[in-house]
Structure 1
Amino acid sequence: MATAGKDTTDASGGPGNTATPAIRHSKPPVNHHRAPRAATYSTSILPFERSPNGNILAAFCRAAYWTQGRAVWGALTASGDTKHCYKMDHARRGRAIIINNETFHHDLYLGQRTGTDRDAENMESLLSELGFDITARKNCTAAEMKSMLVEAARESQGDADCFVCVILSHGDDGAVYGTDESVKVEDLVAPIKACKSLAGKPKLFFIQACRGKFVDGGVEVVDSKGKHGQDDEEEMESDEVAVQTIPVEADFLMAYSVAQGYYSWRNREQGSWFVQAVVKVVRDNWRRMDLLTMMTRVSHKVAYDFESNVPSNRFLHMKKQIPCITSMLTKDLYFTPKV
């Protein structure tokens, strides 16, 4: 259950940011935790005590997770089912782009997206764990957003497994916002569609943004275990622009935070419901589940485990959300551990 932060939409919008931030390339985080005291008895696991980060448990878990992931792939290989799986044994996992827009120009009247930095940090951590080379930028204009996708498409992707783009911003159905204006999602996807070295490879887009002006009041079900909000209020993303939906072609997956026409919820302390669920579910299951199975669990988690708590506004109080996963993948996608 998400803990809520007291913060409602600021209709006056946040300050614009037209400067071009530097591109940040990240590597998997280093564990700086102090190593536990060495065991006083003899054990074959003791060599892990001398692991690079000095953490026995972390090293043991990494080895166990790698073994589990390879075992799943080994079982698929033995059964001959790999013909229905994407080839994920290229030299590198691939490029992941994270676009995180928090503040917008005054004339757009869009509120500051408090809590989005938590989403960006969590997605960066997850994608690093999966082995992606990450390019992260904050507060991009619409032109800068398109430029990032064009640059990614120009890169040589022949030795990559797949491509990922994460967009965190305000939006409406079919569009997301740069700091200065909106841009159609299809215009962001187009360069990746045209990238020949990504042909036949998974191309994954995760979009945390509103897709309309409606709020989901929910419906009671017998086995519902959805939780009510706690003491503080949720923040709701809100803005709209009339645009068309995108055409999705083979080997694409478009993971939207909310169904068509609806608002998307974000907690100012914990981040958006959708990103919280994606990070939790994928981190717990990527070594043994395919992506679509995990995204089904993400939808379940968002639908059942989250509920808005805005008692000061009955129109926003006790509302729900359901992600929308549009898949044109042609095979099962397993993030096979790299050797």
Structure 2
Amino acid sequence: MDVSNKGFSYDFNNERRGIALLIHNEVFDKFSGYKDRPGDSGDFIRMQEIFTKLGFEVDAKRNLTGRKIFDTIQTVSQSKSHEKSDCFVCVIASHGEEMQIETKNNVIIKEHVIVGTDGQCVKTRDIVEMFNEDYCEGLKDKPKFFFIQACRTSNTTVLGMDSGHILTITERKQPPGGVDDDEEMHVDSKITDNVDANYISTNKDNLDTRHMSTADTYLSRRQLVHQVTDVECPEDTLLMFASLSNNFAVRNSSSGGWLLTSLYSQIKEHIETGKIGSTEFTQILNGALKEMTTKNFKPSDTTSRLYGAFSPGCFTHCLSRDVLFLEKQYR
């Protein structure tokens, strides 16, 4: 393969590699309804290391509220540095859910959301949208990568319909320069199940969920209604999730999330062997997925009831050319 042929690969000869935005939530407010995510500190360190080695300007954030997640991402999307960059990377590690949301027009939609430390959420769709060419012209025709270490479960995956509650979701409806006020949305369902902190499996690999009711309650209310929730993937964008839709993400309380540990090891191996500049990036990601399938999850007696609700990761993309991380400033 001729790696210099721009007809087959994106231009990675710009002045800068680009920004790698890392948002890692490990400690959640007590009133948020979400448990902490032990093990994420290792992911946070490794993501900084690996993207620094790839030549990125790493912007690392920890323990952000829903509003702060939104504001941080909007600020980064408006950075002028994108104009001189090869690409953009965003890593988000937090709690996540797929929620049925009732809009003001009484229309029910299903969205994947990222949860802030205060329990407030941001739509994953809105996060991705902030970097498309309509809002971030500096990244037009350049690859954008999003790696999401978060659950993709909903009440229909796990429990049955709950009575519902009001949840504030930060939405984006305007181009840069104007941000909507928080809007109250009615959520028809709420996951009240958690394996994460109350039940620890024998090898410390835990489903990355929130607060736990009894297993008997789970079994009596479980409804296997499989409705896949897709996050829109704009042009020149790649989205990688820690699990399939309707599934839990798995995180080791010592070593970190399955997706991010596999991503780290695969990129590191290609850097150390000198193959990073000649291996098309989606092949490296396929290697990370393959590595995830070799991991062994050993749930406890209680969490084994949830065994069928987790999966290895997946990615989808609308990249139009190959991605080759040509040597720039590896350290």
TM-score by length of 1: 0.68
Offset at residue 317 of structure 1 (A): 5.8
Offset at residue 321 of structure 1 (A): 2.4
Which has more radius of gyration? Answer: 1
CA contact (8 A) 1:308 1:319 kept: no
Offset at residue 190 of structure 1 (A): 2.2
Task: Determine the C-alpha separation between the residues in 2 that align with 1:128 and 1:300.
Answer: 24
1:197 is aligned to 138
**Pairing 1:210–2:151 present:** yes
Going from structure 1 to structure 2, the CA distance change for 1:295 and 1:301 (only over 3 Å counts) comes to same
1:314 is aligned to 304
1:97 is aligned to 21
Offset at residue 322 of structure 1 (A): 1.6
Going from structure 1 to structure 2, the CA distance change for 1:189 and 1:231 (only over 3 Å counts) comes to closer
Offset at residue 187 of structure 1 (A): 1.7
1:326 is aligned to 316
Amino acid at match of 1:262: N
Identity %: 25
Going from structure 1 to structure 2, the CA distance change for 1:84 and 1:76 (only over 3 Å counts) comes to same
1:277 is aligned to 262
Task: Determine the C-alpha separation between the residues in 2 that align with 1:239 and 1:307.
Answer: 18
CA contact (8 A) 1:259 1:323 kept: yes
Give ranges in structure 1 of 5+ residues lacking alignment. Answer: 1-71, 216-229
1:64-104 Cα offsets, whole Å, 9 max, x none, are xxxxxxxx7xx433xxx441100001111001110011122
CA contact (8 A) 1:234 1:310 kept: no
Offset at residue 300 of structure 1 (A): 1.1
1:24 is aligned to none
Task: Determine the C-alpha separation between the residues in 2 that align with 1:320 and 1:313.
Answer: 11
Of the candidates 227, 232, 243, which is equivalent to residue 203 of structure 2? Answer: 232
Task: Determine the C-alpha separation between the residues in 1 that align with 2:282 and 2:92.
Answer: 19
**Pairing 1:263–2:248 present:** yes
Of the candidates 84, 88, 97, which is equivalent to residue 8 of structure 2? Answer: 84
Give ranges in structure 2 of 5+ residues lacking alignment. Answer: 99-111, 159-200, 212-226, 271-275
Q: Specify which structure has the higher proportion of strand.
A: 2
1:168 is aligned to 93
Helix, strand or coil at the partner of 2:304: coil
Helix, strand or coil at the partner of 2:92: strand
1:177 is aligned to 115
Query: Which residues of 2 match residues 27-46 of structure 1 at below 5 A?
Result: none
TM-score by length of 2: 0.70
2:283 is aligned to 293
Amino acid at match of 1:301: E
Offset at residue 243 of structure 1 (A): 11
Task: Determine the C-alpha separation between the residues in 2 that align with 1:150 and 1:243.
Answer: 28
1:149-188 Cα offsets, whole Å, 9 max, x none, are 1111211111100011110100013111011211101121
Going from structure 1 to structure 2, the CA distance change for 1:260 and 1:319 (only over 3 Å counts) comes to closer
CA contact (8 A) 1:94 1:161 kept: yes
Offset at residue 309 of structure 1 (A): 3.8
Task: Determine the C-alpha separation between the residues in 2 that align with 1:254 and 1:117.
Answer: 22
Helix, strand or coil at the partner of 1:192: coil
Equivalent pairs counted in the alignment come to 249
1:28 is aligned to none
CA contact (8 A) 2:248 2:310 kept: no
Offset at residue 124 of structure 1 (A): 0.8
CA contact (8 A) 1:210 1:239 kept: no
Task: Determine the C-alpha separation between the residues in 1 that align with 2:97 and 2:321.
Answer: 30
1:284-322 Cα offsets, whole Å, 9 max, x none, are 122331111111111111112332343454324698622
Amino acid at match of 1:197: G
**Pairing 1:111–2:32 present:** no
Helix, strand or coil at the partner of 1:248: coil
Offset at residue 283 of structure 1 (A): 1.5
2:292 is aligned to 302
CA contact (8 A) 1:85 1:331 kept: yes
Task: Determine the C-alpha separation between the residues in 1 that align with 2:241 and 2:307.
Answer: 22
Offset at residue 106 of structure 1 (A): 2.6
